[in-house]
Amino acid sequence: MKAFFCPQRRQAIMASRWRKLLEEESEHQWLAIGLFFIFAIIGGIVIEGTSTLAGVDLGAGEAEHDGMRVLDIVYFDNEGSVASQLTHVYEPGQGHSLYSQDSAETVNPIYHPSGYDKGDEIRFMNEMSGDRVILSVASTQLVEINLNDQLIYFNINTTDEFWIDDYQENGGPDSAMMVTQEDDGTSTIRALSNFVASPPMVNSNSVNWNNIVHLTEDKWVATGTISSTQSSEENPASPIVRTAIGIIEWQGNLSTSPVLISFTTGEEGQIHSTFSTGNSQVIIATNTGAYHIEADGSINNLDLVSQSAVTDSKGNTWFIGQKGTTSIAKFNDGILEIQELAKPIPLSIEVSEYEGGMIFMHGMDDNGAYELMTLDITAQDSIEDGRGFLNFAFLTTFTIVFIVMSWTVLDRYRSY
């Protein structure tokens, strides 16, 4: 019988110890709980107050384009860092220049005007896979520049005469598409495979096409402008110019033309960015809004006004607002986030690029000087960031307090 009742006696002793401990601590527990809640609330307010993208910097540093107007730039990536940049700049009185600069600040001139400035005829400068850049300065010709500054000229195999306004690939030159200005002055789309051109697209709907990007295996998205017969309210003498979006299909047969399978007329506004996000989706950004195009060709309107936009390696699109804007919008697969900046945007952005976790924004300040603003999007919630540091400090403090409280409870329990 004694052995049978022993556990109950132990339970009674244990309960008595807990009762004495709680009675002794009762006069302090509400004070401790209150202080902890005050600490948590203040910590949350301070953390929320520092929830900004802190990695903002102004200045080109040792870049050769410091103080120059950057018209086009491509940043080459090397294991997460910028290895070099290919830059097209313009200087009043000097003209257009094209050069590369590596991470060791070594500048390699590629083109400098001598007499007639052909740099003015660079219509685009697009980065391709394999650390390549494609541009065009002559009719029916493409120029490839690689990371080693090697120039390769490709003459398009065609019997027609046209200029190339844009060029994009679907994994390589065996499947490509280009926007062309034909010899008769019309704008159209041609497919390209290993630099052999297809016949031009015939149903262009009187659109002045500007850019084209890859959507899916056999579909592309082209953007441009179209003039409406309706007059503008602000200027009745001039017609309204609207954005034009076309879904184009091509099955890979060079004997057939690309086909415009869907056409949409957008709002008034200027398209400044058109790019594939890398997940069978396309973003079109304008100064009056944006469009999100999905793999099936459906178009979603986005109420996002911007002066520039870029897409990062994770498929996020970053919409950069006007000068003085204090936030930046991030969009990915239908999800929109507005993130505060550590300081307002001080530039009117003309060109922006993403590489190695950095957004590079080139533009002009209030004094008419050309500057570079960089945004390190990897700094968010890092230990260097204010929010990241406070998160770390808050969690560390909470852990220490919790361990001390637990140790104190255990020690007091053992003393009874």
80 in the same domain as 45? no
46 in the same domain as 81? no
Residue 4 covered by a domain = no
Q: Which two tokens stand for residue 105?
A: 């600040």
Nearest partner of 345 among 373, 370, 385, 316, judged by Cα: 373
CA gap 8, 363 in Å, rounded: 80
H helix and E strand count, the chain:
2, 29
Specify the length of the chain in residues: 416
Q: Give Cβ neighbours of residue 349 (< 8 Å, ≥ 6 apart).
A: 307, 308, 320, 323, 361, 362, 363, 373
215 in the same domain as 127? yes
Q: What is the DSSP string of 374-404?
A: EEEGGGTTSTTSHHHHHHHHHHHHHHHHHHH
Residue 160 covered by a domain = yes
- pLDDT number for residue 2: 43
Residue 349 covered by a domain = no
Q: Which of 299, 319, 335 is the last residue of a domain?
A: 335
The pTM of the full predicted model, rounded to 2 decimals, is 0.77
Residue 117 covered by a domain = yes
Residues of the domain holding 216: 72-335
Residue 296 covered by a domain = yes
8 A C-beta contact, residue 200 and residue 257? yes
277 in the same domain as 207? yes
126 in the same domain as 89? yes
User: Running DSSP on this structure, what letter comes out for residue 88?
Assistant: E
CA gap 196, 189 in Å, rounded: 14
Q: What is the DSSP string of 147-178?
A: TT--EEEEE-B-SS-EEEEEEEEEEETTEEEE
Residue 231 covered by a domain = yes
301 in the same domain as 154? yes
176 in the same domain as 40? no
Residue 399 covered by a domain = yes
- pLDDT number for residue 4: 42
- pLDDT number for residue 382: 47
Pairing type for strands 69-78 and 308-311 reads: unpaired
Which tens digit of pLDDT belongs to each residue from 84-121?
889 999 988 888 999 998 876 788 899 888 777 888 88
CA dihedral 356, 359, 363, 367 (to 10 degrees): -110
Percent of the chain with pLDDT over 70: 75
391 in the same domain as 300? no
- pLDDT number for residue 332: 92
Q: Which two tokens stand for residue 301?
A: 């309107």
CA gap 215, 202 in Å, rounded: 21
- pLDDT number for residue 410: 66
CA gap 416, 22 in Å, rounded: 12
- Quote the number of domains for the chain: 2
243 in the same domain as 109? yes
Cα 61 → chain centroid: 22
401 in the same domain as 264? no
* Strands (DSSP E) found in 255-334: 259-268, 271-276, 282-286, 290-293, 299-302, 308-311, 317-320, 327-332
Residue 6 is inside which H or E element, if any?
Answer: helix 2-49
Q: At what angle do helices 386-415 and 2-49 cross, to 10 degrees?
A: 160
Name residues of the chain where pLDDT drops below 50.
1-5, 49-51, 382-385
CA gap 193, 247 in Å, rounded: 19
411 in the same domain as 288? no
Residue 366 covered by a domain = no
Q: Which of 335, 368, 402 is the last residue of a domain?
A: 335
391 in the same domain as 253? no
3-state SS string for 8-20:
HHHHHHHHHHHHH
Which tens digit of pLDDT belongs to each residue from 305-340?
999 999 998 899 999 999 999 999 999 988 999 988
Query: What's the CATH code of the domain at 328?
Result: 2.130.10.10
Within 10 Å of residue 30's Cβ, how many Cβ atoms? 9
Alpha helices in 190-232 (DSSP H): none
